[in-house]
Amino acid sequence: MGKLNKTEKLATNGGWITTKFNEVLGWGRKYSLWHYPFITACCGMEYMSAACAHYDFDRFGMGWTRFTPRQADMLLVCGTITHKEAPVLKTVYDQMTEPKWVVAFGACAVSGGIYDNYAVVQGIDRIIPVDVYIPGCPPRPETFFDALIKLQEKVQKEGHDWRWKKRT
């Protein structure tokens, strides 16, 4: 432990602190992002690298991989989404409970990538709203962490009143 600031000293000494409700809520949310990896293609390999011991995204507070959308806060779309897969992705997104965030992992999820043809959806934002886009084919794990930190900043700023905010 390094130096504690005044508030932390108060908190650790059994004292009490005051803060804004939105801030503490955002702080709590951003370090416990449970994610649902929607892996279809190549980017899944880099997701595996990012998840495992070598890069280890648990350091950023997203250790829990949940394979049920109902327990997940964050949908991680890794890989190409084809028109055949599109209804599945939409269903998974709809099954997730609010608040929820979507990350488009890799060029195919962002824009269809190099597959500009009859079968591939040109970007998952044609199906569901996206919060963070990660470029790269496939992105390196470091790029993913960069995106994760950006998403955490966004989560921190979002207040408790998400319910009344219009999400399309």
Residues that bind other proteins (CB under 8 A): 38-42, 44-46, 48-49, 52-54, 67, 79-80, 82-88, 90-92, 114-121, 125-129, 137-138, 140, 168
Query: Between 10 and 41, whose beta carbon lies closer to other proteins?
Result: 41
What is the distance between the alpha carbons of residues 142 and 46, in angstroms, rounded to a whole number?
Answer: 10
Half-sphere exposure at residue 45, Cβ-oriented, CA atoms within 13 angstroms: 4
Query: Between 25 and 128, whose beta carbon lies closer to other proteins?
Result: 128
- Token pair belonging to 61: 């507070």
φ/ψ region of 49 (left if φ > 0, alpha if ψ in -120 to 50, else beta) reads alpha
Smallest gap, in angstroms, from Cβ of residue 24 to other proteins? 33
Smallest gap, in angstroms, from Cβ of residue 150 to other proteins? 20
Smallest gap, in angstroms, from Cβ of residue 168 to other proteins? 8
What is the distance between the alpha carbons of residues 146 and 35, in angstroms, rounded to a whole number?
Answer: 16
Residue whose tokens read 């602190």: 17
Query: Between 30 and 38, whose beta carbon lies closer to other proteins?
Result: 38
With 0-12 / 13-18 / 19 or more C-beta atoms within 10 angstroms meaning exposed / middle / buried, residue 119 is exposed
Query: Between 25 and 103, whose beta carbon lies closer to other proteins?
Result: 103
Q: Where would I find the H helices in 6-140? A: 6-12, 21-30, 43-51, 86-95, 107-111
Smallest gap, in angstroms, from Cβ of residue 23 to other proteins? 30
Smallest gap, in angstroms, from Cβ of residue 11 to other proteins? 35
Query: Between 94 and 153, whose beta carbon lies closer to other proteins?
Result: 94
